[in-house]
């Protein structure tokens, strides 16, 4: 049986993962409105990944006899000034999620909830990849600036992102 503190924290993390999915979907919609189909595709793929992350937590809670409590999700922003700003926000968001996962690991250790601690190791590794991916795109956007041809090429590159195999 999962401890109440851990159950509550996992429900909060699940909410954060659902919000992440919603945020990336808002970013996809923003890019669609600008006809950046590749950027939009990348964000839709990211949104789907975040949904899968939330559902992993959902499954863990149910397998451990915990109660899933779905919470209200905040409305994400819907406008940004540039593709670079969108990806900077995505990168900063991933850093916050990484901290949240780290806090969960510490809580599971303190509560001696070894199954949850082991479960969270997948998320720790995943967050390294999430941050690196967003940061790489921020770096590319810093290089290209607002140069149309370069943005067009990067849009095409990001449009080739394949669905995750999680």
Domains of the chain: residue spans and CATH: 4-158 (1.20.1260.10)
How far is residue 1 from each of residues 4, 10, 39, 67, 114, measured CA to CA in Å? Answer: 9, 14, 43, 11, 12
- Angle value at C-alpha 44, between 12 and 118, nearest 5 degrees: 40
For the chain, what is the radius of gyration of the CA atoms? Answer: 17
Q: What is the pLDDT of residues 80-93, one digit of tens each?
A: 999 999 999 999 99
Tokens matching residue 71 = 């919470």
Q: Please report which confidence band the pLDDT of residue 131 belongs to, taking 50, 70 and 90 as the band edges.
A: very high
Q: What is the tens place of the pLDDT at every residue in 31-74?
A: 999 999 999 999 999 999 999 999 999 999 999 999 999 999 99
pLDDT band at residue 146 using 50, 70 and 90 as cut-offs? confident
Q: Which DSSP symbol is given to 159?
A: T
């Amino acid at each position: 049986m999962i401890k109440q503190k851990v159950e509550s924290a996992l429900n909060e993390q699940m909410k954060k993962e659902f919000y992440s999915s919603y945020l990336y979907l808002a970013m996809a919609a923003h890019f669609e409105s600008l006809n950046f189909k590749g950027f939009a595709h990348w964000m839709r793929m990211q949104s789907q990944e975040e949904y899968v992350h939330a559902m992993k937590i959902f499954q863990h809670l149910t397998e451990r006899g915990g109660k899933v409590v779905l919470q209200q999700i905040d409305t994400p922003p819907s406008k940004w000034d540039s593709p670079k700003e969108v990806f900077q926000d995505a990168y900063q968001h991933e850093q916050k999620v990484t901290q949240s996962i780290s806090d969960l690991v510490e809580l599971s250790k303190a509560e001696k909830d070894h199954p949850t601690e082991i479960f969270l190791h997948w998320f720790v590794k995943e967050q390294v990849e999430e941050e690196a991916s967003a940061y790489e795109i921020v770096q590319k956007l810093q290089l290209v600036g607002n140069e149309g041809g370069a943005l067009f090429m990067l849009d095409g590159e990001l449009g080739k992102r394949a669905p995750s195999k999680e």
